Amino acid sequence: MAISDWLQLMLPQIEPEFSRDGCWIAQIMARSVEHNPPLYWLGSAFDQIGPAENGEDTRLTDRIGERLRALHGPHVCEGWTEEDERAQDVLTEACAIAWTARHLGPPELSEAGDRLLVRVPSVDACVAPRRLWPVRTLEAMVQLTGEQVEAAAADLPDSNRRIVYIDINLALDAYARNPGYDGPMTEPLRESVKFLGQERGLGWVLTRPFEWGVPLEAWY
């Protein structure tokens, strides 16, 4: 299903609204995935971790829906809010679960504070999803990347594979000109993730906004 359909299932009290100033969730509900890779990959993440059709197991998608309602709220927000950012963090978690399921094995979820960890007991692995919130400069984004890797290293328990999953922020109407797509702007993020991952003994996954199926960098 498209991400708009998934969001309407999980947040039925929010109506689609095509407004650049309004609630981010409502905006996404109103948009087509055509010519918009981040939204395509968001829908495919939910399809990967637990289709809500044909009686299949929906425990993982149910958990994501619970977190969306808890961290964003069940109703439309005013737009450009911390609630919108938290909702996008949860969608990054869904993408990290999908990546983990495809590459490592059946995932289980646990918590580290207000964040999820994705465990794969069959291979003794644990993945810490992180999303880069919007900042004004590339230098600030590189600094934020380092902070997220450090935070993930602190949250990850001892295991055979400890992996940080970093998702670049989605600039909804200009993403193709931003880090993840623009090569010179992306390279410092690549180097930061690789250097700090090696320093902390972590594997890493770096993705364009929500594009879990085609990472920019992956070593684990």
Report d(CA 169, CA 100) in Å as an integer. Answer: 20
The pLDDT of 16-29, averaged and rounded, is 93
| DSSP code for 25 | H
pLDDT level of residue 54 (50, 70, 90 thresholds): very low
| Higher-scoring residue by pLDDT: 54, 44 | 44
The helix/strand/coil state of 160 is coil
Sign of CA dihedral 102, 104, 106, 112: negative
Q: Rounded distance, CA 94 to CA 187, Å?
A: 25
Handedness of CA 144, 150, 155, 161 (dihedral sign): positive
- Residue 86 has φ and ψ, to the nearest 5°, of -65, -40
Query: Domain range holding 89?
Result: 3-219
Q: C-alpha 202: how far from its chain's center?
A: 18
Name the nearest CA neighbour of 126 among 108, 142, 141.
108
Q: Please, what's the b/e burial string for 89-98 (b: 16 or more CB within 10 A of its CB; e: otherwise)?
A: bbbbbbbbbb
Number of domains in the chain: 1
Separation between Cα atoms, residue 204 and residue 218, nearest integer Å? 6
pLDDT (tens digit per residue) in 89-136: 999 999 999 999 999 999 999 998 889 999 999 999 999 999 999 999
Longest dimension (CA), the chain: 47
Sole residue written with tokens 């929906």: 58
